[in-house]
Structure 1
Amino acid sequence: MVAVSAFAILAVLVAFIPLARTLFFSHGVKTEGIDESALAEASTDLDGTWTVTNRPGPNQTSAGYTFDEVLPGERRTTSGSTQGVHGSVTIEAGTLTSGEITVDMTNLKSDADVRDESVRRKIFHTDEYPESTFTVTEPVDLSTVPDDGSMGSVELTGEMTIHGTTQPVTQTFNVARSGEQLLVAADIPIHREDYGVETPELVAAKISEDGEINVRLDMRK
């Protein structure tokens, strides 16, 4: 009986390892940066109120996370994303004067339903903290952003709220004016414990303490 039980346990473990690798070690779905090959010359003024849109295309609005998942003897980077993003920014005389972006954390998806359920319910606790936000707190000059379809960069200072905790953030963002679009993207480094995000004792994987919040915004007037 003992031998049979040991054999059964071994069989379960052997069957579980490929499943664990599929669920926790696939690369997920990452929010990438601005696709420069899709840029064109700007066709509208910079000043005005720009609102996040979710139109399909190579630079469609998206936001998400990237972290390392760790199993004994192996470590791999994985990501999850959502297109549930809304908000707006205001530009006056070439200066970004205000802005707030909100991300619906309840729709974060990778390429594994089991991971997604763990991320939403056990890591970000989206039933209690369904949204994350980034609010601009200091004006920034955008007048040097090219209007010829090439990409520029600006340093934005603001406050980022995740899991109900707010921290100051200063980060360089890529910015491009393309046709009627204002495109903004960045990979923002975070230490998840700064936001009170703790990793649960998952069966197959643990989440590293340091990661990124990935953002790409397609905004139009």
Structure 2
Amino acid sequence: MTRKVWYLVGAGVLLAVLVVAAPFVYARWIAPEAAAPLAVGAGSGAAVEELAGAYTAGPGSEAGYRVGELLFGQRVDAVGRTSDVSGTVEMSGTQVTSGDVTVQMGTVTSDDGRRDEYFLGRLMETETHPTSEFTLTGPLELGPEFADGTPAEVTAAGTLTVKDVTREVEFPLTAVRDGADIQVSGAIPLTFTDVGIEPPAFGDVVTVDDTGEVEFLLALTPTG
């Protein structure tokens, strides 16, 4: 073979290696590392006073999504979040008797502006459906140890409304006392087609999983 032919063969091999290796390099070393799941802190470890009868979600609260993406065959986690979260919780002793949380979807952002533009526009249509909401549908007993500062891990049931479609959901959550306040975290599994969302796919470049999670961290302070 002539030197020119060898050069062409070598260039073709190099191009093939780059096509295969580039997504791996991007996913492993260039793409920003996905944020860790939202979780409660250690808490104060001690109860300072009796539990309040009502709490309000305030500063420190967050909510958003986590979903797997396939980028040229390499898996990455896409995570978007907002701190524009409001809500109320009613309690009787260590039992949660009601709870409602509202998330302003138009303020959810990730580490990729192009993803955010698609998420807020074509995918979630936030101008038409600006909020997502969760409502607890049954009492939730945190246990007597919770009043003394021990974290509680329980299963919650309620309704999740996304794009004006309401689904019944059940998921584990963790609650911990932090002085007079309470922190609550959890992740609600979601199949996107259940709420009318078709997971996007852009040829062989990017595909998105059919399922994901709605993550949340509530920082609850006594109302009033």
Query: Given the two structures, how large is their TM-score scaled by the length of structure 2?
Result: 0.79
Does the aligned pair in 2 maintain the 1:145–1:176 contact within 8 Å? no
Deviations 1:36-70 (A, max 9, x none): 2x53422232241100011xxxxx21111000111
Q: Which runs of 5+ in 1 are unaligned?
A: 1-9, 55-59
Work out whether 1:45 is the aligned partner of 2:50: yes
Partner of 1:3: none
Q: CA shift at 1:29, angstroms?
A: 4.1
Distance between the aligned counterparts of 2:45 and 2:57, measured in 1? Answer: 19
Aligned to 1:199: 199
- 1:34 corresponds to: 40
Alignment partner, residue 166 of structure 2: 166
Q: Which amino acid aligns with 1:34?
A: V
Aligned-residue CA RMSD (Å): 2.4
Going from structure 1 to structure 2, the CA distance change for 1:145 and 1:61 (only over 3 Å counts) comes to: farther
Supply the distance in 2 between the matched residues of 1:98 and 1:121 (Cα, whole angstroms): 32
- Residues 205/187 of structure 1: CA separation in 2 closer, same or farther (3 Å cut): same
Distance 1:31 1:61 in 2: 13
For residues 202 and 121 of structure 2, the distance between their equivalents in structure 1, rounded to whole angstroms, comes to 12
- Quick check: which has more Rg, 1 or 2? 2
Stretch of structure 1 that moved more, 92-101 or 195-204? 195-204
**Pair 50,106 (structure 1): closer, same or farther in 2 beyond 3 Å:** same
Partner of 1:128: 128
Per-residue CA distance 1:3-51 (angstroms, 9 max, x = gap): xxxxxxx9xxx8xx78xx58x9544445521122x53422232241100
Segments of structure 2 that go 5 or more residues without pairing to the other structure are: 1-14
Contact preservation (8 Å) 1:43, 1:180 = yes
Is contact 1:28–1:112 with CA below 8 Å preserved after alignment? no
- Count residues with an aligned counterpart: 199
Normalized against structure 1, the TM-score is what? 0.80
Shift of 1:188: 1.5
Tell me the SS of whatever aligns to 1:146.
helix
Check whether the contact 2:158–2:170 (CA below 8 A) recurs between aligned residues.
yes
SS in 2 for 1:199: coil
Label 1:44 to 1:220 Cα distance change in 2 as closer, same or farther (>3 A): farther
Q: Verify the 8 A CA contact 2:201 2:208 in the aligned structure 1.
A: no
Name segments (4+ residues, structure 1) moved above 3 Å: 24-31, 147-150, 200-204
Report % sequence identity: 29
Quote how far apart the aligned CAs of 1:153 are. Answer: 1.1
Native 8 Å contact 1:30 1:79 kept in 2: no
- Whole-angstrom distance in 1 between the partners of 2:105 and 2:33: 19
Q: Give the partner amino acid of 1:131.
A: T
